[in-house]
Structure 1
Amino acid sequence: MKSYPIQINERHPDVVFLPYTFPEVRQLQHISFGASVAACKVETDYLSDSIITIGANVAKQIHLPFAADIHVFIQEDTIMLGPLIGIFTAGFTESALRPIGERSLFFANLLTATAANKAYMFVFGSHHIHWDEGTVTGYFYNNERWVQHEVPLPHVVYDRLPNRKTENHRAIARVKTRLQREYLIPWFNPGFFNKWDIYQLLQREEEALPYLPETERFTSFGQIELLLAKYGHVYVKPMNGSLGNSIYQIRYAFEENVYYCRFRDENGNKLRKYQALEYLVNHLLRHHELDKFIVQQGISLYRLNGQPVDFRVHTNKNRSGIWQLTAIAAKVAGQGSMTTHINNGGDVLTLEELFPDPQQRDEVQTKITDAVLLLSGCIDRQVDGCIGEIGFDIGLDKNGKVWLFEANSKPGRSIFEHPKLQESDRLTKELFLEYALHLTEKSLFSPEELFQ
């Protein structure tokens, strides 16, 4: 497999010209792009050693939207151009400048991050698919503006649905199922993780057990009392929460015989004192469905200037489908906050900023790297579908032990606003493309490995 510049030619509209360096031209009779295939005449261009020229009629038949550099695969008598990557999301608007609303800039940056990876990439939603024609009206970002092109169904779909509510919508679920089952299109990062599900799945992996804080599904006040007696403080949080919302830290003060609870509401970070645990739960969590909450062991975290610190770590699969660490950042809790989320007043630091001593920094980085690569493999084995990236919330306790707090299949990217994490930001986007290329090859040459 190699990449080539593609040109579209009007003079020979029904012919595909391949460079003279191309092997076995005589056996080739078809060309494909995504799910489109067309018969064509293939000839050698003896004046070119690198450019592929596609006749305008052929380009139109396979819905090739414009000339670009692209990878070329050969299978039997077919020239296959790819990858064609569809980024699936929701929340489209009528605006030509911001067709995906506030997330338009994120998608524009993603589509233009690594032109050197040579792929056609577009954003689409369920209403952009034309099932009868086998095509999609996709949003491309070219020359700093959004343009729409009719393209075939893609080789691979990258799931960037914005939230669980959208993901669970019946029409969205039908599209995902149909593209995967009927068209055998690999769909990566197929769903949001549920904290309780991930915890249960990881308990099947013996290597993962040392990283898991004791976690139980909420059943009773007595359950919280037992965990408080064991650990001094606990976290009560929703299985499907995000951004630190609806997390409650409960601590029992033995000397005072009272319970303290830290949480955040629309007015900021709060600390409340209660004489009884039952009153605390009934008062603060009365509007929540407690059967959808978990209770988790509290960890005495490493602190900076008295404030707890945890780590956001990203892993991505590379061109070979192997996990690698792509980003690691420390998050320091804001004053009065029990979480390190930036929207709760937290700060992002690099490891160099947190640990000026190189030896301490290297030890921490090695521990965390080993942990997240192991956990990535464990989750990959236990969760159905193609997982290409994971964002971990990792804790380091006062004794230097690593703990897993949470794994996210669609991690936020707020840490990359730190100027010294720009290289990590670029790397995560490059590897998203590399993994898409890996899945494209698998779907073309060994689909049985993806669809067992």
Structure 2
Amino acid sequence: MKALLAIKCKEDLLEDQIVLPEMLNEYQIDSIAFGTYQIHCVATYNSGHHLWISQKLFDQLLLPYEGKIHVFVHEKTLHLGPLIGIFTAGFTSSILRPIGERSVFFSKLLATERKVGAYMFLFGANHINWEEGTMVGYLFTESGWCKKTLPFPHVVYDRLPNRRTERHRLLSSTRERIQKEYAIPWFNPGFFDKWDIHQKLRIEERIVPYLPETINTVSIQTIEEYLAKHPFVYLKPKNGSLGFGVYKIIYNREDELYYVRYKNEHFVNKLLRFSNLEPLLSHVFKNKELSSYLVQQGIPLLKKDDSFIDFRVHTNKNEKGEWQVSALAAKLSGKGSITTHANSGGIIKTIPEIFEEEQEQKTVIEKLNVASLLISNAIDTHLPGFIGEIGFDFGIDKDNKVWLFEANSKPGRSIFYHPKLRNEDILTRKLSIEYAVYLTEKTIKHPEGVFT
């Protein structure tokens, strides 16, 4: 049983008393739980729609504040939640900006909790008291950021900022311990590996047509073979993000020269010319490992105003644990750039801003929706763990065929800078919390089965 109730603390109740709406009388509740804390209680009932809790129980459960929250009933226990812990790194000593530049994003995310009915807090590996079974969490309230001691959460939402941080021994051991010792679901764990995703998606026949030809062996021979079949190729880092380390190689058959476009370490777009591939690769991989790259077929994309277009699609799981498309936008490449990323001068546009005809807009949206939901379910099937959101980069070629360029487990949010995508921005945050509600209910009812 699940319901949304307003929780209120009442001082004139007996120390172990709670007052529930009459509709819950049949469940014979004798204990109340919040996160990993569970306490005996005496339940009484009235005709209202509030949950009244004694001051002592409110304090013992470490409830952060009054407000609307979901309640779940299982085996005579009333569970309040979800209590969602957002695991990240990079904390500062400032309570005004506890997570540095990312504090603004997290404040928006946590401010969404009351629209759904949840408690959310930020925490890092050093905020855990393993002996007491508590965490010092950062909450965002109407008065700004504050710190409060809380029980271990129902679920953990992984928002580690990058791959290097994720590999840190303390952070990885914290994740393992929370999952193994406390059986707490940890969703969106880990960054995707491009080659691993490509290999797993190739298993699905319906998805193969969306995949550019790709190989994880970078050599003069493989590049030559790809250039013989395709107008250009990309060299991409298997674990790259934001377009860093991507190289576009073009062979001009008339002058028999190879051209390479890329962004250097100073974020300047470069175009270099070579008479053959050997010096090109020597230049490109001067301080890089060939084994960390893959070769991918280049796709001649649709263009607008001399800029090529690709598309970002966000998918999220909802309160039923089902995938839905939550945001869709177009991205135009910056001048001289091989990617559409904002840090390379890329520009965000809505679909109507790219396609003038209404029917064309509908066709593009439908194609991208079908592709993204199909691939979301495939990734979810073939990868371990709980995946709650994915960001896709798609292209559409001159024959209106859709291609998958990349899937991101921790998608960037640059598309939401566009003023007409504000509702999508809110929806993606809201759905992340709704998925946590879904995981919480599953964990409460099937504490062992949720992992199978």
TM norm structure 2: 0.97
3-state SS of paired residue (1:182): helix
In the aligned structure 1, how far is the partner of 2:180 from the partner of 2:337?
45
**Residue 228 of structure 2 corresponds to which residue in structure 1?**
229
Note the C-alpha offset of 1:20.
Answer: 4.3
CA contact (8 A) 1:167 1:191 kept: yes
Tell whether the 8 Å contact from 2:16 to 2:40 is kept in structure 1 after alignment: no
CA contact (8 A) 2:21 2:50 kept: no
How many angstroms apart in 1 are the aligned matches of 2:27 and 2:196?
54
1:221 Cα deviation after fit: 1.1
Deviation at 1:26, TM superposition (A): 7.8
Question: Counterpart in 2 of 1:269?
Answer: 269
Unaligned runs of at least 5 residues, structure 1: none
Instruction: Report the 3-state secondary structure (helix = DSSP H, G, I; strand = E; otherwise coil) of the residue aligned with 2:273.
Output: strand
The equivalent of 2:413 in structure 1 is: 413
Structure 1 contact 323–377 (Cα < 8 Å) conserved: yes
CA contact (8 A) 2:137 2:149 kept: yes
Q: CA deviation at 1:25?
A: 6.3
Partner Cα distance (2:64, 2:302) in 1 = 53
Q: Which residue of 1 aligns with 2:42?
A: 41
Change in 2 beyond 3 A, CA 1:370/1:20:
closer
Counterpart of 1:315, as a letter, is: T
Could you report, residue by residue, the CA deviation over 1:358-393 in whole angstroms, capped at 9, with x for unpaired residues? 111111111111000000000000110000000000
Matched residue SS, 2:175:
helix
- Cα offset for 1:267? 5.0
What's the counterpart of residue 220 of structure 1? 219
Whole-angstrom distance in 2 between the partners of 1:259 and 1:146: 54
SS of the residue 2:296 aligns to: strand
Match of 1:300 in 2: 300
Number of equivalences: 450
**Aligned-partner Cα distance in 2 for 1:429–1:26:** 33
The aligned runs of 1:25-424 (5 Å cut-off) are: 27-44=28-45, 46=46, 49-265=48-264, 266-424=266-424
1:62 shift after superposition: 1.6
Q: What residue number does 2:13 align with?
A: 12
Q: How many angstroms does 1:349 deviate by?
A: 0.5
Deviations 1:154-181 (A, max 9, x none): 0011000000011111111111111111
Structure 1 distance, partners of 2:320, 2:19, is: 28
Identity %: 49
Describe the shift of the 1:49–1:167 C-alpha distance in structure 2 as closer, same or farther (beyond 3 A).
same
1:41 Cα shift? 1.9
Aligned residues of 2:67 and 2:114 also touching (Cα < 8 A): no
Rounded Cα–Cα distance in structure 1 between residues aligned with 2:85 and 2:78: 21
Q: CA contact under 8 A between 2:267 and 2:344: conserved in structure 1?
A: no
Residues in 2 aligned to 1:70 and 1:264: alpha-carbon distance in whole angstroms: 48
- What secondary structure, in the 3-state scheme, does the structure 2 residue paired with 1:447 have? coil
CA-to-aligned-CA distance 1:329-366 (integer Å, 9 cap, x gap): 10000111111111101111000000010111111111
Alpha-carbon distance in 1 for matches of 2:22, 2:380:
40
Is the 2:113–2:120 contact (alpha carbons within 8 Å) kept by the matching residues of 1?
A: no
Distance (whole Å) between structure 1 residues aligned to residue 305 and residue 313 of structure 2:
22
CA 209–447 in structure 1, closer or farther in 2 if over 3 Å, else same: farther
Deviations 1:226-254, CA, capped at 9 Å, x for gaps: 11111121000101111111100000000
**After alignment, is 198-207 or 314-323 more displaced?**
198-207
Q: Aligned partners of 1:21, 1:13: CA distance in 2, in Å?
A: 19
Name the aligned partner's letter for residue 217 of structure 2: F
8 Å Cα contact 2:246-2:262 kept in structure 1 = yes
Retained in 2: the 8 A contact 1:262–1:272?
yes
Give the letter aligned to residue 243 of structure 2.
G
Task: Give CA deviations for 1:43-74 in whole Å, capped at 9, x if unaligned.
Answer: 22x3x511111112112222212212111111
Q: Secondary structure at the match of 1:24?
A: helix
1:445 paired with 2:445, answer yes
Please tell me the residue identity of whatever aligns with 1:54.
Answer: I
SS of equivalent residue, structure 1 residue 8: strand
3-state SS in 2 of match to 1:236: strand
3-state SS in 1 of match to 2:440: helix
CA contact (8 A) 2:337 2:344 kept: yes
Q: Which amino acid aligns with 1:290?
A: L
Name structure 2 gaps, 5 residues minimum: none
Looking at structure 2, the residues matched to 255 and 289 of structure 1 have their Cα atoms a distance apart, in angstroms, of 32
Distance in structure 2 (CA, Å) of the matches to 1:362 and 1:20: 47
Letter in 2 for 1:446: H
Query: Could you tell me which amino acid in structure 2 is paired with residue 422 of structure 1?
Result: R
* Secondary structure, counterpart of 1:450 in structure 2: helix
Mapped partners of 1:148, 1:450: distance in 2: 30
Q: Cα distance, 1:208 vs. partner?
A: 1.1
- Aligned residue in 1 for 2:431: 431
Residues of 2 paired with 1:207 and 1:126: CA distance?
Answer: 41
1:448: Cα distance to partner? 4.1
Q: Which amino acid aligns with 1:22?
A: M
TM (normalized to structure 1)? 0.97
Contact 1:269–1:336, Cα closer than 8 Å, also in 2: yes
Change (3 A) 1:118 1:442: same
Name the stretch that deviates more: 127-136 or 406-415.
127-136
Contact 1:394 1:406 in 2 (8 A): yes
C-alpha separation between the residues in 2 aligned to 1:413 and 1:26?
43
Q: CA deviation at 1:258?
A: 0.4
Preserved contact between residue 262 and residue 270 of structure 1 (Cα < 8 Å) = yes
8 Å Cα contact 1:332-1:347 kept in structure 2: yes
Amino acid at match of 1:334: G
Structure-1 separation of matches of 2:215 and 2:143: 49
